[in-house]
Amino acid sequence: MPAFYAGKRVGKPLMGGHTYNALFNGKLVWPLDKDTVVSIEITDDKGNALPKSLAVSGTLKLGAKATYADGHVGDLLTTKNVTFTSRDTSTAMVSGNTLTWRHGGTILVTATVDGFTSAAVSISAAYAPESIKVTDDAGQPVDAVTLRVGESRNLKVTVLPDAASQEFAASAASPDIAVVGDAKPTGITVSPESLTLRVGETANLNVNILPDYAPQEYTASIKDAGIASVRQQ
């Protein structure tokens, strides 16, 4: 750690080729190499690498290892002799060595040991869902849906902000009136509608499940497997 006099950094005093030191408040003005921190690695409280992300409302216990000027690495520090700081308290707070999620974004954390502060490490903070947007196939907002018997309508659900998890569960308030889920097939079209094959010939058929946004999975079969066979691609 450098020494300052009148606000200016001063070098170690040399006399006859030897470095002389001094005490200030019982401490060496120029700490020895074994006491001089040159870098700090921030880990979890077990000494493992930090996770890349922190879940919504998640917490993380922090740890730190200091490397000294003489090359040795100190013990893992968690609550004593180390101070952890969140550079942006809107995304996460630090109490002791506990990091707590507050909002989506990038968490920047530093550790300070013996007056030396590390470079900030970043952790991605997950975004919490704030609202839901429902639109139709044309991208127009949908507030209400009117359906007749047997009708269905395809809706797109977007969780906002876009960076939040897009997982959701949809349900109808009155399932005896309408249900929500994957569109049910209402018909099948095959092109061409009829086909004539000679011995050894093959042909491709295009199968489309209606409506177009319904699941397109199907199983094809031949009534008389002795005449022809079907292989689904």
User: How do residues 120-138 score in pLDDT, each as one tens digit?
Assistant: 999 999 999 999 999 988 8
Q: Is residue 205 part of a domain?
A: yes
According to DSSP, residue 121 is labeled E
Q: Is residue 14 part of a domain?
A: no
Tell if the pTM clears 0.85, that is, is over it: no
Predicted pLDDT of residue 215: 79
Q: Is residue 36 part of a domain?
A: yes
Half-sphere exposure of 223 (CA within 13 A, CB side): 0
Count of structural domains within the chain: 2
Check whether residue 39 and residue 115 sit in a common domain. yes
Residue 32: pLDDT band with limits 50, 70, 90: confident
- SS3 state at 71: coil
Q: Is residue 133 part of a domain?
A: no
Domain boundary residue, one of 108, 125, 142: 125
Q: Is residue 166 part of a domain?
A: no
Q: Is residue 98 part of a domain?
A: yes
Q: Is residue 194 part of a domain?
A: yes
Q: Is residue 23 part of a domain?
A: no
Check whether residue 43 and residue 115 sit in a common domain. yes
Predicted pLDDT of residue 75: 96
Q: Bigger pLDDT: 132 or 171?
A: 132
- Alpha-carbon span 33 to 37, nearest angstrom: 8
State the CATH number of the domain containing residue 47.
2.60.40.1080
- Alpha-carbon span 191 to 96, nearest angstrom: 69
- SS3 state at 108: strand
User: How do residues 185-226 score in pLDDT, each as one tens digit?
Assistant: 888 999 998 888 888 888 898 999 887 767 788 888 888 888
Where in the sequence is the domain holding 101, given as residue range(s)?
A: 31-125
Check whether residue 114 and residue 197 sit in a common domain. no
Question: What's the first-to-final CA gap in the chain, in angstroms?
Answer: 71
Largest Cα–Cα distance in the chain?
Answer: 108
Q: Bigger pLDDT: 37 or 18?
A: 37
Check whether residue 200 and residue 115 sit in a common domain. no
Question: How many beta carbons lie within 10 A of that of residue 117, not counting itself?
Answer: 13
Check whether residue 109 and residue 191 sit in a common domain. no
- Alpha-carbon span 22 to 18, nearest angstrom: 13
The dihedral over CA atoms of 168, 173, 178, 181, expressed in degrees to the nearest 10, equals 10
Domain boundary residue, one of 106, 125, 144: 125
Domain boundary residue, one of 125, 143, 171: 125
